[in-house]
Amino acid sequence: MGLKMRLWMLISAVIILSVISLFIGAINIKPSDLLDWESLETQIFLISRLPRLLAIILAGAGMGIAGLIMQSLSRNKFVSPTTAGTLDAAKLGIIISMMFFTSMSYIGQIMFSFAFALIGTFIFMQLLERIKFKDVVFVPLIGIMYGNILGAISTFLAYEGNMLQNVDTFFQGSFTLVVSGRYELLYVAVPAIIIAYIYANKFTVAGMGEDFAKNVGLSYRAVLNIGLVIVAIISTTVILTVGIIPFLGLIVPNLVSLYLGDNLRKTIPHTIFMGAAFLLICDIISRLIVHPFEIPVNTTVAVIGSAIFLIMLFRGKAYAKK
C-alpha cells in the first residue's frame, strides 16, 4: 500500500471516529437537532461535545509527537513522556504549586508545572548520557523507576496536605470535565506540533547520534534542548487539561516507525493522525462500555496501551535494537 494512501486512511479514520464521537453520550443528539440553534442539544454539542472532540484530537496528536521526539533524541524506541518521568514531573510541579503557592494564578501554575516537566525530562536525559548500559528495555525501566520516585514524592506531599483525593481526580485522565473554558490551554500544543514539524529534519539528524549530527554541522545541544521544550509544553498542556494519558507516546510512534521508518519529516503527519485516532477509539470505548456512564479514558488507554506495549516488548525487542 502506498504511503500517501496510508495517510489518507488515517485521516479518514480520524474523521469517521470524530463523527461517532460527536454523536454518542448520555444525551442522544441527532444531527437534525443541530439545525435549531437554540435547542438544548445544540448547546450541549457546542459546549461539551465539540470541545471534547478537539481535546481528544489535540491530546492524541500531541502525545504522539512528544513520544516521537523523545524516542528520536534519546535514540531509544521505548522512551516516552510516560517512561522518562516527564508526566510525573509535571504532576509534581502542579502539586507543589497548589500546596505551597496557593495564591498563584492559573497561568502561574501552568508555568510552574511546565518548568518541572522540562527539568524532570532534562534530568532523565542527563542520566541517560551517563549510564553505560543502554539496553532498549533497561533504559525505559530506569525511566519508569525515576518517574515512580517523583510520583511517590507527589503522593507524599498530597497526603501531607490532605489533597490526595483532589489530586487523584485531577490527573485521572478524563474528558468528562472537558467543556469550553477548560480545555483551551490545549491549543498551545498546536504551535508546538508545528514547530516540531519545522524541526523534523534536525530531530532526525540528532537521532543519528551526536557525532553524525556534528559531522553535518548541526548544533546538537541546541536541537536537543528545543526538543525537550516541545515535549514539556505538550506534556504539560495535556496533563493540565485532560490528565495523564499513558503509553500513547510510546506505542503510536513505534507503530508508525514499523512501516515508515524514522525520518521525522515523513513520520510526523502519520503520528499526528494515528495518535488522534488511537485516543478517539479509546474515548469511544470508555463512553460505551458502561453507557450511559463512562470510565476514565486513561484506564482504557492503559489497558489497550499496555497490551500493545507488551506485545512490542516481546516481539519487537529485536526490532527496537536495530
Partner 1 sequence: MIEIKGLSKSFGKKTVVEDVTLKIQAKAITSFIGPNGAGKSTLLSMVSRLLDADTGEVLLDQSDVKKMKSDAFAKRVAILKQANHLNIRLTVRELVSFGRYPYSKGRLNKEDQKFVDQALEYMNLTDMQDKFLDELSGGQKQRAFISMVIAQDTDYILLDEPLNNLDMKHSVQIMKILRKLVDELGKTVVIVLHDINFASVYSDRIVALKDGRLVKDGPTHEIINSDALREVYDMHIPVQVQDGCRICVYFNSHN
Task: Give me the residues that bind partner 1 (CB under 8 A), please.
Answer: 72, 75, 77, 200-202, 204-205, 207-209, 211-212, 214-219, 257, 261-263, 265, 321-322
Residue 181 or 217 with smaller CB distance to partner 1: 217
Residue 118 or 205 with smaller CB distance to partner 1: 205
What is the Cα–Cα distance from 269 to 254, expressed in whole angstroms?
A: 14
Angstrom CA distances, 281 to 19, 47, 174, 207, 305, stand at 12, 21, 14, 31, 12
Q: Closest approach of Cβ 59 to partner 1, in Å?
A: 26
Residue 187 or 319 with smaller CB distance to partner 1: 319
| Cβ(34)–Cβ(42) below 8 Å | yes
Residue 31 or 209 with smaller CB distance to partner 1: 209
Residue type at 26 in one-letter notation? A
What is the Cα–Cα distance from 252 to 33, expressed in whole angstroms?
A: 36
What is the Cα–Cα distance from 129 to 241, expressed in whole angstroms?
A: 32
Nearest to 232 by CA among 76, 316, 121: 121
Q: In 3-state terms, what secondary structure has residue 14?
A: helix
Backbone angles phi, psi at 263, to 5 degrees: -85, 105
Q: Which three cell numbers stand for residue 165?
A: 483525593
State the number of CA atoms in the 13 A half-sphere of 191 facing the CB: 4
Q: Closest approach of Cβ 94 to partner 1, in Å?
A: 34
Q: Closest approach of Cβ 96 to partner 1, in Å?
A: 37
Which long-range CB contacts under 8 A does 255-258 form with residues at least 24 apart?
A: 255/308, 256/68, 257/77, 258/319
Residue 202 or 287 with smaller CB distance to partner 1: 202
Residue 33 or 135 with smaller CB distance to partner 1: 135
CA 201 to the chain's CA centroid: 21
CB atoms within 10 A of CB 174: 19
Residue 38 or 211 with smaller CB distance to partner 1: 211
Residue 261 or 292 with smaller CB distance to partner 1: 261
What is the Cα–Cα distance from 17 to 259, expressed in whole angstroms?
A: 23
What is the Cα–Cα distance from 15 to 182, expressed in whole angstroms?
A: 24
Q: Closest approach of Cβ 208 to partner 1, in Å?
A: 6
Q: Closest approach of Cβ 75 to partner 1, in Å?
A: 6
Q: Closest approach of Cβ 245 to partner 1, in Å?
A: 25
Residue 147 or 207 with smaller CB distance to partner 1: 207
What is the Cα–Cα distance from 288 to 157, expressed in whole angstroms?
A: 36
Q: Closest approach of Cβ 317 to partner 1, in Å?
A: 13
Q: Is the peptide bond before 292 cis (omega within 30 degrees of 0)?
A: yes
What is the Cα–Cα distance from 25 to 303, expressed in whole angstroms?
A: 22
Q: Closest approach of Cβ 63 to partner 1, in Å?
A: 21
Q: Closest approach of Cβ 253 to partner 1, in Å?
A: 12
